Amino acid sequence: METILVTGGTGLIGNGIQSIAGDYSQYNIVFMSSACCDLRDYEKTLAYFSLKKPSYVIHLAANVGGLYKNMNNKVGMFEDNTSINNNVVKASHEVGVQDMVCCLSTCIFPDRTTYPINETMLHDGEPHSSNYPYAYSKRMLEVVCRAYSEQYNRNYKCVIPTNIYGPHDNFSLRDSHVIPGLIHKCFLAKQHSVPFVVCGTGSPLRQFIYSVDLAKLIMWTLFEYNESGPIILSGRPDDEISIKEVATLIAKQFDYSENIQFDSSFADGQYKKTADNSKLLSLFHEPDNTPLETGLEKTITWFNEHYKHVRK
């Protein structure tokens, strides 16, 4: 039985893949967590990969966080992610992995560009100043995958999802991405009968994808996507929604809609990063994406049921 090794296998996307693993019962899928191995250490990474002998790798592991973590931990975000990415790709090659999918982010795209952004524009300019160390590290993951593919005839490919959310996310009030942070903040605001304060004006626009939907697309990419270059995994550009609208939907789920405030003393970050999924649609049928309101309901239900044990 061939093995699929999933780094970051206990995180948000990893759990999404776990939820559909039954559809791939012909494979031994190993969901690797940070407790298994420190991927920043190459010798440990190589030893773990040599032990598991994967035929396929899905590389999800990363030091990740929201806007304020990226702004306040620039060196750590660059160094950790660069080490993790280089080690995973090199170890995969050394143990003979032919097919690998690596996960990038829309934050890697240029700040000053035209919209919607497509895959050909990845290296056309500087990323936004708020997260450039993380963004450059992720850009270099695309570069090293391309280099190994060209030099050694590997099939190492990169996916670029839009903003991911769902159960098993990190709901930290300080370091999370926008949706889990807002969910936790609204939960506490209602508990303590205080305003639900959203950092920033709420005007930035984002595209979101539910973690299970992304998991299905990643598995399709692993086995079916053989085109050159990275591929954006998202809904249509017109699915874009403002942070204010997202916060309103979350407050509605908590029945706390009358208590939202926006604190404009906080930075908004990049205003928009609209991604074009035309390449995906040319190769794959229309993705069956979970509507945002439905995905939020599922995520909030899971959060409420598991509050004592969620990452926060």
Domain boundaries, the chain: 3-166+207-237+274-290
Of the candidates 56, 134, 210, 225, the residue annotated as catalytic is 134
Q: Is the pLDDT of residue 245 over 90?
A: yes
Q: What is the CA radius of gyration of the chain?
A: 19
Mean predicted confidence (pLDDT) in 11-17 = 96
Write down the pLDDT at residue 121.
94
* Residue showing tokens 């296998």: 9
Judge whether 156 counts as a catalytic residue. Answer: no
The reported pLDDT for the residue numbered 41 is: 98
Q: How far apart are CA 273 and CA 156, in angstroms?
A: 25
- What's the pLDDT at 101? 98
pLDDT at residue 287 greater than cutoff 80: no
**CATH number listed for the domain at residues 3-166+207-237+274-290:** 3.40.50.720
Name the residue among 205, 182, 209, 246 with its Cα closest to residue 103. 209
Find the range with the poorest average confidence among 71-85, 206-220, 244-258.
71-85
Mean of pLDDT over the chain: 93
Confidence of residue 216 (pLDDT cuts 50, 70, 90): very high
Label residue 38 by pLDDT band (50, 70, 90): very high
Do 285 and 220 form a contact (C-beta atoms < 8 A)? no
Distance CA 41, CA 80 (A): 10
Structure confidence by residue, pLDDT tens digits, 137-173: 999 999 999 999 999 999 999 999 999 999 999 998 8
Which residues are CB-contacts of 190 (< 8 A; sequence separation ≥ 6)?
A: 196, 254, 255, 256, 259
Q: What is the mean pLDDT of residues 27-37?
A: 95
φ, ψ of residue 28 to 5 degrees: the values are -90, 105
Residue 81 has pLDDT above 90, yes or no: yes
> Quick check: 170 and 311 in contact, CB under 8 A?
yes
